[in-house]
Every structure is written in C-alpha cells, then in structure tokens.
Structure 1
Amino acid sequence: MLSGTAANAASSGAPTILVVGDSLSAEYGIARGAGWVNLMQQTITQSGFDYNVVNASISGDTTSGGRARLTPLLERYRPAVTILELGGNDALRGIPLDLTRKNLLEMIAAARKTGSKVIVVGMRIPPNYGPDYSERFFNMFSVVARQEKTGYVPFLLAGVIEHPDWFQQDQIHPLAKAHPQILQNIWPTVKPLLKPAGKPPAKAADSRTPKSGA
C-alpha cells in the first residue's frame, strides 16, 4: 500500500524519501496520518526542506517481501533517501538470520544503484525467543549498517517499549501517542541527509559512519 504523499511525489518534482517497512510504519490500528511517517513529512516541511515522503510499508511484510517489491518502487520514485524498516516479522516467523541479513544487503545495494542514500532501522524482539537469538537479531542490524556504511537507527521503539500503555491490546503495535517518540528516534538520522530547499545536495552522509537515531 502506498500512502502519505505518493501522488505529490510523482507530480511535484521534489526529491522523494521512500519508507519500506512493515506494520510499525504502515499505521496499523491507528488513524490515517497519525503514524511516524506522516509526522516526518510534517516535520520535513516545517523544517524548510522540500521532500515528499512515500510510505510503501505493508503490515506483515518481511525482508523477503520488501526485497521483492523494492526494485519497482526505486524505478518509480528514484528516492533521494530510502528507509528500510523491516526484519521484525522475519524473527517472529523464525526466518533464518542469514536470509534476513542477505535480504537487507540486497536492498541496500539496489537502492544505492539508483543513487539513493540508505537508512537501516533496527528492531528488538522479546527475550522469550531466547536471549542468544534475540541478541544476535538485534546486533545484525548494526553489523549490516556498519559494514555497508549506511545511516542507522538502533531501535525503532526506543523510549516506547518502556510504556506498556503506549501499545495496542496486542502489546506489539504502538498507539498513535507513541509515534511522536518513534519519529524522535528516526529524525536525527534522516535530517543530516537532507538539503535545504534551493541548496545544492549535501555529501552523502551514509558513506561514512552509521548514525544513531536513539
């Protein structure tokens, strides 16, 4: 599902920020426009940047699903920045970490071939999946980001997971009131990659060291 300013991105000529994620970015269970992706579009505009955010997130998606649909999205939008928020459902479904890692690496490579900067968003899973697996899963994102020198947000739900009352009844999906905090986790990594309206492009910040968004 494409939401947010997808139509505007196709017509205005402004650079695009492409978000490829799962239910945590797809506004699952909350009002349309209340999620962090739409809040980021508002923050971008209010901060004087001229970018359109395309939310190509799908509830339940995995890195395999994201990899399969990424190329057409890249061809359509030619994003200046691609945010990859995928992997949580891989862990919940028991998909091998090696496959998740491979999919992330392939998505990063595909985005960069189109000239896009890339941000990898990390996730944690409950310790009941086994502390060793949970830790290896969490560390996988930082290893990929460091290896590929992408932008990096260590944990999408930092500052949220500590508040059980910020979650829907399933205790997995955040309520709308949690999404401003999610944006606070993301924005410090996104902002340095943007250029003010009318200014020449900044050097690609994701070509050096990973940036922490928490």
Structure 2
Amino acid sequence: MYSPIRRFGPEDAKTLASDGVAVLAVVRDPVAMVLSWIKSTSKYHITKRGEEMFRRRADLLACKTEHERIVYAISYFAEKDRFGQYDRLLAFCEDHPNAIVVRYEDCCSEPNATFGRIFGALDIGMKGDVLKSFLDRHSFEAYSGRLITDPAASAESSLQGRTHLEAQALSEPSRATIVQALPPRVRRLYGGSQ
C-alpha cells in the first residue's frame, strides 16, 4: 500500500504504529531549538504572532546577557511543555519498534548515510546514484535554486545550519543551563547536547 509522506500528530502516530506502519520522528538539537527560538522571537515574524509574542519579544530584549536570554527561553519552553513533548515523542519511539528517530543535524551533515538508513528501515530501495539523485532533487539548495558544490558548506549556509553553528559557539555555562533543563532521554539522544 502506498501512502504519501505527511505530518501526523501524536495520536495519529500511535494509531499508525499499532497498525505496523513505520513512523519517522525527525528531532533537533535542543540547544539549537532554544537558540532558534531566541533568534526568531527577537528578530522575525513578530507581527504574525500576536500580543503574546510582542510581550515575549519585549521581555527577551530586556535580558542583558546571553545567560539571561537562555533562562528566559527555558522558562518559555517549560511553560509550553516543549521538552516534555520531546521526551514523550522519544518514549513513544522507544516503545514502537517500527518508529525511526533521526536527528535533523545528521540529515544536514551526513545526508547519504542518514537517508540511506531511513530508506533502508522503510524498505525503500534507494542506494548509490538513485539516493544521490533523490538528495540532489530534494535539498534546500534545489528548492531555493542554489547550486550544490559542497554539501557541508551548504548546510552551514542555511539558517538552520547557522543556528547549529551558533549552538556550537554557545558559552559553556549557557549550554549547561539548557542541558540541565532537558529530560534524561532527550539529553541521552544528544550526548549531553552537541
């Protein structure tokens, strides 16, 4: 049976997994998630988010240091249960052998190996040149019209790639504050967070 790839909610995933359908969960480095939220809240999309985000932006901009911004972002993530949702997703995947967990960063840094693993788990015969052709057609660069010359450099040039690089440059006390806020299962997935 052919089914197009689409996004499902947690209840849909449970139903599908219990029916033997493979569930793919793409997760992101939680440190990068926090930094991305800080960046987008302080600079982007504010007019589309309403009064709450105007207040959040003002509160965030009032933070004087990196550490204060991190603590503020973590309080937002706690209020919205972001890390709890992340933990429940990983728990669900641990309980379902047909659930596949893929780190977003692996999709960017090692696309051939990562997508090869995904297609192998889904029993889709994409290897070698077929896989390369698929990745070339479905990359960020293909959709944006950019020419791919160096996949590693192109990942670094994307907004997500830059956010990940910013996560690598984060001060150790700020990184430790984020990692400490993570549920143990999330912390294990990222080895203390990359």
Q: State the TM-score, normalizing by the size of structure 1.
A: 0.26
Higher strand share: 1
Task: Give 1 or 2 for the bigger CA radius of gyration.
Answer: 2
Bigger relative contact order, structure 1 or 2 (CA pairs below 8 A, ≥6 apart): 2
Q: State the TM-score, normalizing by the size of structure 2.
A: 0.28
